[in-house]
Chains A and B, each alone.
Chain A
Amino acid sequence: MKVLATYNIKGGVGKTATAVNLAYEAASRGNRVLVWDLDPQGAATFYFRIRPKVKGGGKAIVSGRRDLDEVIKASDYDNLDVVPADFSMRNLDLMIEGSKKPLATLRRVLRSVAKEYDLVFLDCPPSISLASESVFRAADALLVPVIPTTLSIRTFEQLDRFVEENPEVVKDLDVIGFFSMVDRRKRLHRELLVELRAARPDLLDELIPAVTDVERMGVHRQPVTAFSPGSRAARSYAALWDEISARL
């Protein structure tokens, strides 16, 4: 089982869109996939039309009183299950802080489903905190959407530095950055793309363009490939998954 976390300190960069669409893509290729919506806002849960509620609350899971197994919901798609968001997860930091080995918490919780899934996508809320560190411990890779702006690349570098400076937290964590919501009609995006690629050659080749199909996921409440197969967005997520899965 590989654990991938969509992660960025900033909100609104495409983390949830990435988690939902890549999970759908991976599942349709025969992987057994679980999406865990860690964001109390519950955007991923909403896209899957699932009620944002966890039996007994998120705390029961984090404390180990309830098995993750019991709160998993099937999505409408083969091989793709979801742990819904729960409003109590807004206190994830506090809950994790209160547990015995705070940093190992998520990893421990996930171990119970390791045999059932090939891939887990953790859809993270924006922030860097104790909860994030627990995510870093649990994940094999961070998927970091980067909007081509100077500011975003700076936050990506901060993350990189954190990973470098905290080897005890992030043993073997692969940080995979890629461009998200790229608008080629904007000159600034085009210019920054070239510039940033030169500065960060480790960013993935594939990028996710800014397209209305992705925005329409909120209307359809489906992954983009489910309602618009063959679209530019669908093809981009498929190609992105090719590149990421080759790297795992």
Chain B
Amino acid sequence: MSEVRRFVVTPTDDPAAVLVRLADELSLRAASSTVVERTFLDTADGRLDAAGVVLELRHPVDGSGSASLVWTEDGRTVATHQLALPEAPRFVADLPAWPAADRLAGLMEMRALVPGPTITTRLTVLAALDREEKTTARVVVDTSVLRNGDDLPMLVELHELRGYGREADRLEKRLRAALVLEPFTGSVAAAARAASGAPAFLPSKLRLALHPTAPAAEAWRTVLRALTDTMTANFAGTIADTDSEFLHDFRVAVRRTRSVLQEGRKVLPPERRDEFRAGFKWLGDITTPQRDADVHLLDYPGLLASVPAERAAALEPLRELLVERQRECHGQLVADLRSMRRAQLGRDWAEFLAGDGAWPADDGGEPGSDAPDSLRPAVVVAAERIHKAHTRLVRDGRTIDDGSEPVALHDLRKDAKRLRYLLECFGSLFPASDVATAVKPLKALQDTLGTFQDTEVQAHALEDMAVQLVERGAPAATLLALGAVIEGVHARGAAARVEFAQRFAAFDSHTVTKAYERLSEDAEELS
């Protein structure tokens, strides 16, 4: 691929004058000049931006020609597509059949593209030609205005053509002599976002920097606030059902909040803690039906792929049932999220998290008087909780053998989650590398436990749906195909069950135990 060398023109002269200079002094030939309205697309968490991908919808402003979808990276055009309707794609399935579309699909996964800032750009293309009138390099001058009328810095791109590197070098020298240029390394999309004051992308991970020696109450408060921010950031997308990740991230924040409350024994005043544990349990519970329905829909393409192609069409009634279910669940969820009860919980919680230091006691007494751990160093309290959770996971895991009931593995998954949440929420109290060493084998164990339980739940749900489909008079072919699907799900579950022993043994090893002991030692050293 040929390189694009990008520059900002400083200070921005009159754009028209710049163009005339380029044409006259550098004898570049004007190839085209168009004015386009550009709307940048990205997922709510900025996955394209993070990968250096710019995807935009372009409308020619003079109404000539159709809208197109343009994919660039570092100024290079990766792919373009003329749109029959000026509608932006939302999901992976809506992307054009670009040969490289898989790369975008891999970045987006289940996320929807949402429109970001819109700018209007005059794109002027100038060509350097050789004696045969063959283009040897292109210069693209890009002058953009934001919706509010503000100008973005003027950009000059030198598009090197493959096999014509020397010509590009020569032209760059002459460009630099003619104009004052600074290298530009960002993207126009990012520049437009920054200049238009567009909201920041949703963070995909909890990013905390807790102080090891600060009182535990402060660390707990900081974590709970960050989780509340995540819930708030994902609230509108959950209500609008923009994509399934908003609800997913909302739920993860709720579950982490519950876990941090649970681990907050002796850090938070006991009655308030109980009150909020109940509150967030309810909030978690009301989101479960839609999440289950979302998961079925997300799994559907995989299920489809697991049956022979000639049977796939027979599964259509199942898909319709899943879609209908998801819509019902979403309607209910929206009602619950807009209820008085939810609003009250939000207000109480915000009030509880306001302020700093330890919380006043339930009876209004001295802060910390009914929460003896609240003023101890955060790292010490967190290390104790991690130690306890680790010990319990190992103890319970050792009682499981090939004959154990599935419920034993489900319970073990809860133990594992508890430990994982502790490490995620309080990990920044410890040296990062020690946390990473502790998390890695835990993650592997969780993956297996997760697959095992998810397949059980999925098989169960599909069996339920089979009954419903029978009641609706679905054709036998549908039920046969569904039978094959369920069989496949059971097989995956069985494989995970076999894998468990090995994964647990790896977790219950000397090295991993040492990694967890290391965290307690860290706590001692840091406090």
Are B133 and A49 neighbours in the complex by a CB distance under 8 Å? yes
Are A30 and B81 neighbours in the complex by a CB distance under 8 Å? yes
- A72 within 8 Å of B by Cβ? yes
Q: Which residue of B lies closest to A116 (CB)?
A: B1
- B164 within 8 Å of A by Cβ? yes
Q: Which residue of A lies closest to B162 (CB)?
A: A74
Q: B122-155, CB under 8 A of A: which get 1 and which 0?
A: 0000000000111100000000000000000000
Q: Which residues of chain B are within 8 angstroms of A81 by Cβ–Cβ distance?
A: 162-163
Given contacts A74-B2, A81-B162, contact A49 B99 (CB under 8 A): no
Are A118 and B99 neighbours in the complex by a CB distance under 8 Å? yes
Interface residues of B in 69-128 (CB under 8 A from A): 77, 79-81, 96, 98-99
- A76 within 8 Å of B by Cβ? yes
- B161 within 8 Å of A by Cβ? yes
Are A74 and B163 neighbours in the complex by a CB distance under 8 Å? yes
Q: Which residue of A lies closest to B132 (CB)?
A: A49
Residue count of chain B within 8 Å CB distance of chain A: 17
Are A32 and B135 neighbours in the complex by a CB distance under 8 Å? no
CB within 8 A of A30: which of B98, B132, B133? B98
Q: Which residue of A lies closest to B134 (CB)?
A: A49
Q: Once bound together, how far apart are the Cα atoms of A49 and B132, in whole Å?
A: 6
Q: Which residues of chain A are within 8 angstroms of B132 by Cβ–Cβ distance?
A: 49-51, 221
Q: Once bound together, how far apart are the Cα atoms of A221 and B133, in whole Å?
A: 10
CB within 8 A of B164: which of A71, A74, A116, A221? A74
CB within 8 A of B99: which of A32, A50, A221? A32
Interface of B is mostly: loop
Interface residues of B in 286-329 (CB under 8 A from A): none
Are B79 and A73 neighbours in the complex by a CB distance under 8 Å? no
CB distance from A44 to the nearest CB of B (A): 14
Q: Which residues of chain B are within 8 angstroms of A50 by Cβ–Cβ distance?
A: 132, 134
Are A73 and B133 neighbours in the complex by a CB distance under 8 Å? no
Are B162 and A30 neighbours in the complex by a CB distance under 8 Å? no
Are B99 and A74 neighbours in the complex by a CB distance under 8 Å? no
Q: Which residue of B lies closest to A83 (CB)?
A: B163
Q: Which residues of chain A are within 8 angstroms of B134 by Cβ–Cβ distance?
A: 48-50, 76
Q: Once bound together, how far apart are the Cα atoms of A30 and B95, in whole Å?
A: 13
Q: Once bound together, how far apart are the Cα atoms of A49 and B129, in whole Å?
A: 11
CB distance from B132 to the nearest CB of A (A): 5
Q: Which residues of chain A are within 8 angstroms of B163 by Cβ–Cβ distance?
A: 71-74, 81
Interface residues of B in 430-488 (CB under 8 A from A): none
Q: Which of A72, A74, A81 has the most chain B CB within a 10 Å cutoff?
A: A74
Q: Which residues of chain B are within 8 angstroms of A221 by Cβ–Cβ distance?
A: 132-133
Q: Which residue of A lies closest to B101 (CB)?
A: A30
Q: Once bound together, how far apart are the Cα atoms of A72 and B162, in whole Å?
A: 7
Q: Once bound together, how far apart are the Cα atoms of A118 and B134, in whole Å?
A: 24
Q: Once bound together, how far apart are the Cα atoms of A69 and B350, in whole Å?
A: 61
- A31 within 8 Å of B by Cβ? yes
Q: Once bound together, how far apart are the Cα atoms of A73 and B98, in whole Å?
A: 23
Q: Which residues of chain B are within 8 angstroms of A51 by Cβ–Cβ distance?
A: 132
CB distance from A2 to the nearest CB of B (A): 11
Are B1 and A30 neighbours in the complex by a CB distance under 8 Å? no
Interface residues of A in 205-244 (CB under 8 A from B): 221
Q: Which residues of chain A are within 8 angstroms of B161 by Cβ–Cβ distance?
A: 73-74
Given contacts A30-B81, A30-B98, A51-B132, contact A73 B1 (CB under 8 A): no
Q: A40-70, CB under 8 A of B: which get 1 and which 0?
A: 0000000011110000000000000000000
- A78 within 8 Å of B by Cβ? yes
Q: Once bound together, how far apart are the Cα atoms of A26 and B135, in whole Å?
A: 20
Q: Which residue of B lies closest to A48 (CB)?
A: B134
Are B99 and A73 neighbours in the complex by a CB distance under 8 Å? no
CB within 8 A of B80: which of A30, A74, A76? A30
Q: Which residue of B lies closest to A46 (CB)?
A: B132
Q: Which residue of A lies closest to B160 (CB)?
A: A74
Interface residues of B in 39-86 (CB under 8 A from A): 77, 79-81
Residues on B lying within 8 angstroms of A by beta carbon are 1-2, 77, 79-81, 96, 98-99, 132-135, 161-164
Can you name 6 A-B residue pairings with CB atoms under 8 Å? A30-B79, A30-B81, A48-B134, A74-B2, A74-B163, A78-B80
Q: Which 9 A-B pairs have the closest CB atoms?
A: A73-B163, A74-B161, A49-B134, A74-B162, A49-B132, A76-B135, A30-B79, A118-B99, A30-B98
Q: A30-B99, A76-B134, A81-B162 are in contact. List 5 more A-B contacts (CB 8 A).
A: A30-B79, A30-B96, A48-B134, A72-B163, A74-B2
Residues on A lying within 8 angstroms of B by beta carbon are 30-32, 48-51, 71-74, 76, 78, 81, 116, 118, 221
